[in-house]
Homo-oligomer: A and B are copies of this chain.
Amino acid sequence: MTDSTDVAGLPRSWFQRSDAKQERLKAARPFSSGKILNSARLVDALQAIIKPGDRVALEGDNQKQADFLSRSLAKVDPAVIHDVHLLISTISRPEHLDIFETGIARKLDFSFAGPQSLRVAQLLEDGKLEVGAIYTYIELYARMFIDLTPDVALVCAVQADREGNLYTGPNTEDTPTIVEAAAFRHGVVIAQVNEIVDVLPRVDIPSSWVDFIVEADRPFAIEPLFTRDPRHITELQILMAMMVIRGIYERHSVTALNHGIGFDTAAIELLLPTYGESLGLKGKICRNWALNPHPTLIPAIESGWVQSVHSFGSEVGMEEYIRARSDVYFVGHDGSLRSNRVLCQLAGQYGVDLFIGSTLQMDSDANSSTVTLGRLAGFGGAPNMGHDPHGRRHSSTPWLEMITSKAPIVRGRKLVVQTVETFREGGVPSFVERLDAIEVGKHSGMAVAPVMIYGDDVTHVVTEEGIAYLYKVEGEERKAALAAVAGVTDIGRQADPKRTARLRERGVVAYPEDLGVKRTDAKRSLLAARSIDDLVAWSGGLYEPPSKFRSW
């Protein structure tokens, strides 16, 4: 080891982090055999490895959860381990917050809280929890390579071999990224696995990056978040989907795209083999996708629409279907999916031309948010997909079509499409003068209001009334275009019929009839699949829906 003196002339070690790691590894020896931690002694091992104040990255995203590790972490003695700084994508399990109650953890950097968001807010108010910041998924990983490098990473995989190589199975997701941030800066990497085997189907993470593996008491938790039952798709959603296909995908020749999760986008996926086919669009639109393995894409795949799908994560029940459709998905030589959130986010930002997603609230500038009063939820990945990446330099037809200026210096834009029904359930208007997010942000002491997608990034807004081609206009005219599709909400009532007529003539606003879409055609019979059962049938029995989606 090479030491030197610091500026004050004192001897300084440049190996403090690697020395500290060696100490931690040594402390875990009583509870391990080689790289294998004794499952029965995991709490003791964590207590030996983690130090007070450590930054601990705990794998817990919107799909998979290192829950044997999180449950064990909650059992350590707070007198020994306290004031941990927790880095986690998604707060979703009770023990993620129990550790703040008991003092094991104190500071939190996270991306999404969902159902636990009320409790986060309460702990914050009680002074038991300090929020560093609320991130999108990839921002949090980005900081792990800058100033939030984990001292300990707690991750999960399906299998490990005895050397510690990991097989993640289809839900590779964030594991390689978290492990890389820790492993290459002297962090200790501990992976829980469902089982330890002699030979892995494939290696997703080399043992060279892993310090310990531990066999979990039960397979890691996983949620089917990307499944939408076609039974719940409404005719309004079908109408909007028809408009999107004609008025956006066909018009701008969109071949590479990303769909947010929701019934609006599920409807589009299910109309491709029927309505899309009738328009002769197969092969012309929607060929290459950055998308989780949505079951509702099955009919389009089976009908030959889809060339490729790269995924952030996987989806429960899609394993055998993916394996059998190996031309379409990214799979390993073992046949199972390799997902990767960071690379799919990269692809979604720089490799595709369009994002479409739904929102619950939109203001007259087209700012939107799914945040509602009293919840501090976070956004996960939508803000990254739903913005125009100014760092893009290569061109494509849709990207160039967003240019409206004749100036010598211009750039294209990613198509950022928001679908929104003018009224939510219970007759609550979706178009509002002021987003709830503004109050939520103030109440939670956030530096800026938690906006999901900023209006200046939005190129198109689709409602059941029509499409506003916002990229074509600015200022007051932009507000007028939005009002023209905002129905009978207060915002919509501000639309001046004469002005709207002119905007329609100029193609700034299009109503269904302007697009050749008949409202009366928007029937559920147009969906390629009208139930989960239909999806199973399309898949030839390969798709195996989780029981909550089975009605038979």
Contact = CB atoms under 8 A, between A and B. Distances in A.
Given A145-B346, A310-B146, A346-B145, A328 B14 contact: yes
Contacts of A60: none
A185 B333 CA distance: 9
A447 B434 CA distance: 39
Contacts of A310: 145-146
Contact of A185 (B134, B308, B411, B542): B308
Given A409-B438, A540-B2, A393 B290 contact: no
A395 B447 contact: yes
Contacts of A256: 146-147
Given A391-B384, A409-B451, A447-B400, A145 B347 contact: yes
Nearest to A289: B146
A207 B408 CA distance: 49
Contacts of A383: 390-393
A344 interface: yes
A140 B350 CA distance: 8
Contacts of A307: 147
Given A139-B393, A390-B454, A145 B344 contact: yes
A367 to B, nearest CB: 5
A165 B206 contact: yes
Contacts of A457: 390
Nearest to A139: B350
A385 B302 CA distance: 41
Nearest to A353: B146
Protomer copies: 2
A130 B409 CA distance: 24
A147 to B, nearest CB: 4
Contacts of A352: 146
Contacts of A62: none
Interface in A382-406: 383-396, 400, 403
Given A325-B14, A347-B142, A351-B143, A393 B409 contact: no
A16 interface: yes
Interface in A163-203: 165, 177, 180, 183-186, 200, 202-203
In this complex, the member of A208, A330, A365, A454 whose beta carbon has the largest number of chain B beta carbons within 10 angstroms is A208
Interface in A140-157: 140-147, 149
A327 B15 contact: yes
A447 B402 CA distance: 13
A458 to B, nearest CB: 11
A400 B447 CA distance: 8
A136 interface: yes
A79 interface: no
Contact of A388 (B18, B289, B390, B395): B390
Nearest to A325: B14
Contacts of A183: 332-333
Contacts of A435: 409
6 contacts: A14-B324, A147-B256, A183-B332, A395-B447, A409-B451, A410-B448
Given A408-B438, A409-B451, 15 more contacts: A4-B540, A17-B327, A133-B396, A139-B350, A141-B346, A143-B394, A147-B351, A149-B308, A204-B208, A349-B391, A363-B409, A384-B391, A389-B391, A395-B448, A411-B448
